[in-house]
Amino acid sequence: MAEPLLRVRDLQTHFDTKAGLVKAVDGVSFDVHEGEILGLVGESGSGKSLTALSVAGLLPDTAWITAGEVCVEGREVAGLTEAERRPLRGAVVGMVYQDPMTSLNPLMRVGRQIAEGLTAHGWTSADATERTLEVLAEVGMPSPRRVARSFPHQLSGGMRQRVLIASALAPRPRVLIADEPTTALDVTIQRQIVDLVRRLRDEYGLAVVWITHDLGVVARIADRVAVMYAGRVVEYADTRALFAAPQHPYSDGLLRSIPPMRGDDRGPLPQIGGVPVVPSRLPGGCPFGPRCAQRVEECDDEPPLLDRGDSRAACWVPRERWR
């Protein structure tokens, strides 16, 4: 198999807090190849967005990578200085954020905002303007010149999200990280954005990391899925395999919490018991242990990712032994 465009190995990221150093990302590993979409899922606080910021080199001042590797196109980037990272950020790794209204400057026309990112990477003003109109057309914007002259508040939510995607794609990156880009959109616009990213993935040969807590979106867009809990990947699987037979109790709980699309049974949805763990006070052994109905004595030791056929799961108890 070809070298992945994005390769992450044993990534560890710490936060400096009042409670001391907190390991918010703990040993995360995954690969994303050309033309592939990896879904990174988990509930709030699981470490999804911090993993993305670590990969993109956009960590806040209170956080830093303490161990592990991040390789883009075969080049190790985690240990680069800010000056060394700057030419890669945007030009090689593009980022799409969750909320366009906080990501776009309300006082600048959107065309100027897209072009500004290009000129920062050495494009001439004329070439940046031409590429801005081109990429707005590529993301399906009607009348790209009119849109380029618009301020963010003059566009709909779906159009603003397309502007963010256009801005990320304008320098023609190889890797695209999308951090919950459809969360604030209605279902119809969500579908349009998902179809857009899949089409652009095919056209550009992008490697895409799609971060979300919405498993319905994951089912439509992702080729493979990494399920995160307490800063760790607890299951890594082909999307079809995950939805057919999840191999970690946490993944199973997430899938069981999805409302049924058909049927007359509208009773209470199954829930995952307990509350998410606090990163500064992790339990010993398996971090999901206190909430897990499958807990056994072996769970006092933290499990690694174990082969489960089409999946790898951090669980000592195989699915066929679940109660």
What pLDDT shows up at residue 263? 62
Q: Which residue's structure tokens are 């990429």?
A: 135
What pLDDT shows up at residue 301? 95
Residues in the chain, overall count: 323
The dihedral sign for the CA sequence 116, 118, 123, 126: negative
- What residues have CB less than 8 Å from 95, skipping those under 6 apart? 52, 56, 58, 89, 168, 176, 177, 179
Other C-beta atoms closer than 10 Å to the C-beta of 190 total 20
Fold of 1-84+176-182+207-259+283-323: Rossmann fold (3.40.50)
What pLDDT shows up at residue 298? 93
What pLDDT shows up at residue 81? 87
- What residues have CB less than 8 Å from 140, skipping those under 6 apart? 162, 192, 196
Residue spans of the chain under pLDDT 50: none
Give strand pairing partners of 49.
none
User: How does DSSP assign 224-271, residue by residue?
Assistant: EEEEEETTEEEEEEEHHHHHHS-SSHHHHHHHHTSPPSSSS---PPP-
What pLDDT shows up at residue 264? 62
In this structure, are residues 7 and 31 in contact, taking their beta carbons and an 8 Å threshold? yes
Burial of 139 (C-beta count, 10 Å sphere; 0-12/13-18/19+) = buried
What pLDDT shows up at residue 41? 95
Q: Which residue's structure tokens are 């109790």?
A: 249
Write 25-31 long-range contacts (CB < 8 A, 24+). Answer: 25/50, 25/51, 25/54, 25/231, 26/230, 26/231, 26/232, 27/68, 27/232, 27/233, 28/68, 28/226, 28/228, 28/231, 28/232, 28/233, 29/68, 29/233, 30/226, 30/233, 30/236, 31/4, 31/6, 31/7
In this structure, are residues 194 and 217 in contact, taking their beta carbons and an 8 Å threshold? yes
Write 86-91 long-range contacts (CB < 8 A, 24+). Answer: 87/121, 88/57, 89/56, 89/57, 89/58, 90/117, 90/120, 90/121, 90/168, 90/171, 90/173, 91/121, 91/171, 91/172, 91/173
